[in-house]
Structure 1
Amino acid sequence: MTDGTEDPGQGIPSRLCGRPFNETDLARIRQEVTRAQPPLRAEIARRVCRALEWTDLQGRPKLMSARVGLLRLHRAGLIELPPPSGGNGNGRRYRARPETWPEPVPVSAPLRALSGLHLVSVSDRRTSHCWNSLIECYHYLGYSPLPGAQLRYLIQFDGGLLGAIGFGAAAWKVAARDHWIGWTPAQRQAHLGRVLNNARFLILPWVQVKHLASKVLALAARQVTIDFPARYGERVVLLETFVEIPRFAGTCYRAANWHYLGETTGRGKTDRTHQAAL
């Protein structure tokens, strides 16, 4: 750990959340940490985005990426962040709010009988709490904030709620994916923001509809190509996911025309050893 006076040349990463990083950047961040008023992590992230011009293609601050990067620097002892506000510090489980979703209603029907199947974008606090709570309660990985630029959806039909699906930033390096694309490290660095990772996918346990999962994946693949450019100003060209084996076989992804590319050699986005499927 450091008291904040260490030589800035020691242990500085060359990249931070996909962007180049150097001693000058670290010095600017340290300045913004001390200047932030109020001294909150959210305010520090806003100041850092302004100081480093850390923005998306539409000029909006990349606050999520900045907060992830700041936390990494904090944990590495390169900066000292104030304690998290609100008392829900890192390492604590998200407290689910069952009152945010409707009373469970068993659904068992042919897919063609589900009229009005659609995705509802998570765009306000109510739908966000609902999405987070469903994932925490019913997804085997539980809830954790999705990294980077993200899109989250509730899966609904005319009869109610069916599940949730979410996309976040792509894994920085995946040998099978990178070999399949054929890009150089420089090309990956330049274009990785156009790849989205399907980090969470949940069909609620009381919903038993054959082929529903692959249908939702097809709907989502179309929807993100509309919503991501509108929100972040960048076109999506590829989706990826990681399937934990032997727990799952990735059948619904194959049925939705996703391609199996190989196995990962390390840990994936969800901190498991995964099989990659694109």
Structure 2
Amino acid sequence: MNSARYCGRDFSVTELRSIKRLIADNPESSRAALSKLVCDMFSWRRPDGRLKDMSCRVAMLRMKNDGLIHLPPPRNGNNNGKCYLRRTPQAQPDPVPFITPAHSLTNLCLQPVSDRNQSHLWNEYIDRYHYLGYQPLPGAQMRYFVRNGNRILALMGFGSAAWKTAPRDQFIGWTKEQRKRQLHLLINNARFLILPWVRSKNLASKILAMATRRVADDWQKRYNYRPVMAETFVEIPRFSGTCYKAANWICLGETKGRGKLDRLHKARLPKKTIWIYPLVRNYRKLLCE
């Protein structure tokens, strides 16, 4: 093995040895602290200059799972988000169905997750009611509650884009170097959940339209750069992607069912349709610079 790729970065054998040595030299450090030390060591930073410590934490966990490094036990006791144990009355199922067409929702708005309590609540809703459960979004991200007045109807989350997807990369016209350089300008709609007791015709496509109008501005405010395209992956045959089509997203084809963590081309995962939505008109020019 000459190198291993994690979270969009190639780690050489020498770098992996350096990570192992750093872990051994800091036996009292938490996983979070170690990820920051690794980022400092390799100058692994976001476009706005901040450390990519969340991506690094995910990368190090995957290195551990691949047997390349050893990590100290997680201090929060939740096994890195694999089992989200928080349960509060605030996220209990609503016994009264919400049945209102989207065009009648005059107070519909997207509320960014902005503090720890909101973050816990968003995570809990996703864990309880999304078919994939809760998994932390690595790296830069924007999460939203979708509210009508004080009532939460849905949740949405954007995170880092997939490293490599052939139909998407061909559609953009990317070379490997262009993709490596500009991937941060593409964001992934990683989670979209309308709560199961909500019945509102056309709500999903309306939320998608609202989100694509504002997410670039929110991203700019938080990370000091502006994404130019959004993507998402819709599992088939579980879902058809109707709401994305209604919101004018573009379907580019299907994945091969291997997943982003399959480096040996052996995994057999559900196939997904690939959808993209340009956030600016000159997205190709900006992505291919």
Per-residue deviation, residues 58-103 of structure 1 (Å, max 9, x unmatched): 2211111010111122222222111111322258421242324377
Query: Which amino acid in structure 2 is aligned with residue 247 of structure 1?
Result: R
SS in 2 for 1:85: coil
Per the alignment, residue 273 of structure 1 pairs with 271
1:41 lines up with 2:39 in the alignment? no
Change (3 A) 1:213 1:27: same
SS in 2 for 1:134: helix
Per the alignment, residue 70 of structure 1 pairs with 60
Per the alignment, residue 158 of structure 1 pairs with 149
> Is the 1:36–1:47 contact (alpha carbons within 8 Å) kept by the matching residues of 2?
no
- Structure 2: stretches of 5+ with no match in the other structure: 262-268, 277-289
SS in 2 for 1:267: coil
Per the alignment, residue 81 of structure 1 pairs with 71
| Structure 1 residue 221 displacement after superposition | 0.9
1:146 lines up with 2:144 in the alignment? no
Per the alignment, residue 185 of structure 1 pairs with 176
C-alpha distance in 1 between matches for 2:111 and 2:81? 29
> Is the 1:225–1:236 contact (alpha carbons within 8 Å) kept by the matching residues of 2?
yes
Q: How does 1:1-278 map to 2 (within 5 A)?
A: 11-36=1-26, 38-90=28-80, 92-101=82-91, 104=94, 105-268=96-259, 272-278=270-276
| Structure 1 residue 226 displacement after superposition | 0.8
C-alpha distance in 1 between matches for 2:180 and 2:58? 18
Per the alignment, residue 5 of structure 1 pairs with none
| Structure 1 residue 37 displacement after superposition | 6.2
Change (3 A) 1:24 1:269: closer
RMSD between superposed Cα atoms in Å? 2.1
Q: Please give the TM-score of this superposition, normalised by the length of structure 2.
A: 0.86
> Is the 1:100–1:129 contact (alpha carbons within 8 Å) kept by the matching residues of 2?
no
> Is the 2:254–2:273 contact (alpha carbons within 8 Å) kept by the matching residues of 1?
yes
| Structure 1 residue 249 displacement after superposition | 1.0
Percent identity of paired positions between Structure 1 and Structure 2: 50
SS in 1 for 2:174: coil
After TM superposition, the runs of 4+ consecutive aligned structure 1 residues lying more than 6 A away are: none
| Structure 1 residue 220 displacement after superposition | 1.0
C-alpha distance in 2 between matches for 1:119 and 1:29? 40
- Structure 1: stretches of 5+ with no match in the other structure: 1-10
Per the alignment, residue 286 of structure 2 pairs with none
| Structure 1 residue 206 displacement after superposition | 1.4
Greater shift in the superposed pair: 209-218 or 96-105: 96-105
C-alpha distance in 2 between matches for 1:132 and 1:163? 13
Q: Please give the TM-score of this superposition, normalised by the length of structure 1.
A: 0.89
SS in 1 for 2:210: helix
SS in 1 for 2:34: helix
Per-residue deviation, residues 175-231 of structure 1 (Å, max 9, x unmatched): 111111111111111111111111111111111111110010011112210111222
C-alpha distance in 1 between matches for 2:255 and 2:145? 29
